[in-house]
């Protein structure tokens, strides 16, 4: 939006040779008030009209507000005025920052001060030494508006929408970003802390982290650290744009309690693998488990496979977590029949697992594999594979245990750690297969995959 200038005609029109203010009435009120409210300003100078118009605009908008809500209380009216004032303060602050010369900034400052006078209203009395005294609530609103519009105080979420528009994270992570800001604003309000970038310091960050379990309603450090991490990423972005001096969240994490070996999530045992592979499940579940066991891939990456991702004896899994791009994994000989059966007579963009089409709501944050995970959990428990510990939300064995089992078996087979990491997509330094590589690394990956064998089981009875 352009900055105020001598050519700014917002809310203005010429009538005869002079300017007047024009505010459009919402359609629902036009029978009562007409289509537009107009008020002459008595000047032919556009610059002077821009200086005078804000008082009149505020008055006319108040007429519309009163017509729409005749029973509105004083507090409600002030709350409505505050929302509108903060929107205008943000708009003018952005214009002020973008001003390319002093004259333009002076014009913007004139507009800011004029709007602040409207917010303060008329004096209610004359105080000592003849100074005007304004209604305290309106005066405080005017002062807050001035501070924000002139960049002296910046609401903590002022730049958040722009940050989110530049962020390339999944929908669920974006939702975590918004919740983290929501929790911080709620904490500021309940603790009497001014919710501005200039006033939320390291001290407040420490206090917020201490109080976060009560805000979220959970004490699990992993969940709480998720929100602290999102705030840290936002503040790092602000720091890079010189909106804050330092990232006050850097290094702030809630410590996870020390876990003993018997409290950590683990691979399946051979007995558990046999129970799962022999259990009475439908064909889709058996195919899914075998692909998980012989690739080490994450559940959602498997469920999202398409026919075109299963060609040239190689799976191409979509990026997961912090992977920069698609990941190759050679197709194990034990999976050739499954892949052939599931790709036969299908188009390239058809799903390998149409049994799990994913959630239907476009706004859902759930991964496609959400129902798949629930069905696997129900099946796993039915065949007696479970390891629930007191105080732990999840069983120590889950679909991810196939991934752990694959890595364990590959290591036991003498495969290099770097190749195992490349195959399953763990964070690694300097090793990548390349999406279209057919070089030595892909051949090493094939040897790694084929070194893993499913436990010998009797023919299952469906």
**Between residues 75 and 93, the one the model is more confident about:** 93
> Which range, of 71-75, 198-202, 451-455, averages the lowest pLDDT?
71-75
Mean pLDDT of the chain: 85
Instruction: Show which of 240, 275, 305 is a domain's final residue.
Output: 240
Give the per-residue pLDDT at 222. 87
Q: Domain total for the chain? A: 3
The region of weakest confidence among 208-222, 269-283, 298-312, 318-332 is 318-332
Contact 172, 365 (CB under 8 A): yes
pLDDT at position 74: 62
Supply the DSSP string of 254-287, one letter for each residue: PPPPPPPGGGS--PPPHHHHHHHHHS---HHHHH
Clarify whether residues 278 and 419 are in a common domain. yes
Q: In this predicted structure, what is the pLDDT of residue 171? A: 83
Domain of 168 in residue numbering reads as 160-240
Query: Would you state the pLDDT for residue 120?
Result: 81
Domain boundary among 240, 275, 295: 240
User: Do 141 and 66 belong to one domain?
Assistant: yes
Rounded percentage of the chain residues whose pLDDT exceeds 70: 88
Q: Are residues 235 and 276 in the same domain?
A: no
| C-alpha–C-alpha distance, residues 212 and 442, integer Å | 46
How far is it, in rounded angstroms, from Cα 154 to Cα 79?
Answer: 19
pLDDT (0 to 100) of residue 269: 95
> In this structure, how many other beta carbons lie within 10 angstroms of the beta carbon of residue 199?
13
**How far is the C-alpha of 344 from the C-alpha of 340, rounded, in Å?**
6
**335: three-class secondary structure by DSSP:** helix
Token pair, residue 202, equals 């390291």
Question: Are 139 and 274 within one domain?
Answer: no
Specify if 456 maps to a domain.
no
Does one domain contain both 286 and 416?
yes
**Contact indicator for 132, 117 with CB cutoff of 8 Å:** no
Residue 410 lies in a domain: yes
Query: Does 350 share its domain with 296?
Result: yes
Looking at the fold, whether 288 and 400 belong to one and the same domain comes out as yes
Adjacent-strand bridge partners of 196: 155
Residue 453 parent element (H or E): none
If asked whether residues 196 and 74 sit together in one domain, one would say no
Same domain, residue pair 321 and 386: yes
Q: What contacts 262, CB < 8 A, 6 or more positions away?
A: 389
| pLDDT score of 459 more than 70 | no
Structure letter (DSSP) for residue 26: P
Residue 65 sits in the same domain as residue 179 = no
User: With 60 as the cut, is the pLDDT of residue 53 above it?
Assistant: yes
The tens digit of pLDDT for each residue in 266-289 reads: 999 999 999 999 999 999 999 999
71 within some domain: yes
Are residues 200 and 91 both part of a single domain?
no
Query: Considering the domain boundaries, does residue 257 fall inside one?
Result: no
CA 90 from chain centre, in angstroms, equals: 22
Q: What is the mean pLDDT of residues 31-47?
A: 84
The answer, yes or no, to whether residue 338 has pLDDT greater than 80, is yes
Together in a domain, 294 and 392: yes
Domain-terminating residue out of 149, 178, 213 = 149
Specify if 462 maps to a domain: no
Is the pLDDT at 4 greater than 50, yes or no?
no
């Amino acid at each position: 939006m352009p900055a105020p200038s001598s050519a700014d005609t917002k809310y203005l029109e010429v009538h005869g040779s002079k300017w007047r203010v024009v505010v459009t009435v919402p359609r629902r009120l036009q029978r009562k008030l007409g289509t537009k409210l107009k008020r002459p300003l008595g000047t032919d100078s556009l610059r002077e009209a821009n200086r005078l118009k804000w008082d009149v605009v505020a008055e006319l908008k108040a007429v519309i507000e009163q017509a729409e809500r005749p029973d509105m209380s004083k507090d409600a009216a002030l709350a409505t005025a505050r929302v509108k004032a903060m929107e205008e303060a943000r708009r003018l602050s952005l214009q002020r920052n973008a001003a390319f010369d002093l004259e333009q900034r002076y014009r913007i400052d004139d507009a800011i001060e004029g709007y602040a006078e409207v917010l303060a209203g008329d004096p209610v009395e004359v105080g000592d030494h003849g100074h005007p005294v304004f209604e305290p609530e309106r005066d405080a609103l005017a002062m807050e508006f001035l501070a924000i519009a002139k960049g002296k105080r910046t609401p903590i979420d002022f730049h958040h929408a722009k940050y989110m528009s530049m962020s390339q994270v999944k929908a669920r992570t974006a939702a975590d970003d918004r919740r983290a800001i929501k929790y911080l604003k709620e904490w500021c309000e309940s603790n009497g802390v001014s919710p501005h970038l200039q006033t939320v310091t390291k001290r407040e960050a420490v206090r917020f982290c201490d109080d976060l379990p009560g805000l979220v309603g959970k004490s699990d450090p992993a969940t709480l650290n998720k929100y602290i991490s999102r705030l840290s990423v936002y503040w790092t972005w602000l720091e890079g744009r010189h909106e804050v001096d330092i990232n006050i969240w850097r290094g702030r994490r809630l410590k996870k309690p020390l876990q003993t070996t018997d409290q950590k999530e683990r691979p399946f045992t051979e007995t558990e693998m046999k129970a799962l592979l022999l259990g009475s499940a439908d064909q889709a579940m058996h195919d899914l488990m075998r692909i998980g066991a012989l690739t080490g891939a994450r559940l959602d990456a498997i469920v999202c496979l398409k026919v075109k991702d299963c060609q040239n004896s190689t799976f191409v899994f979509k990026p997961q977590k912090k992977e920069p791009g698609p990941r190759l994994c050679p197709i194990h000989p034990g999976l050739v029949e499954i892949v052939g059966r599931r790709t036969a007579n299908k188009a390239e963009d058809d799903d390998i697992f149409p049994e799990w089409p994913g959630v239907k709501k476009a706004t859902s944050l759930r991964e496609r594999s959400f129902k798949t995970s629930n069905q696997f959990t129900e099946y796993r428990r039915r065949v007696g594979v479970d390891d629930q510990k007191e105080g732990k939300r999840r069983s120590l064995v889950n679909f991810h245990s196939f991934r752990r089992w694959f890595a364990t078996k590959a290591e036991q087979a003498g495969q290099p750690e770097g190749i195992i990491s490349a195959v399953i997509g763990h964070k690694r330094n300097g090793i990548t297969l390349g999406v279209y590589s057919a070089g030595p690394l892909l051949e090493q990956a094939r040897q790694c995959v084929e070194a893993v064998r499913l436990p010998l089981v009797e023919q299952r009875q469906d």
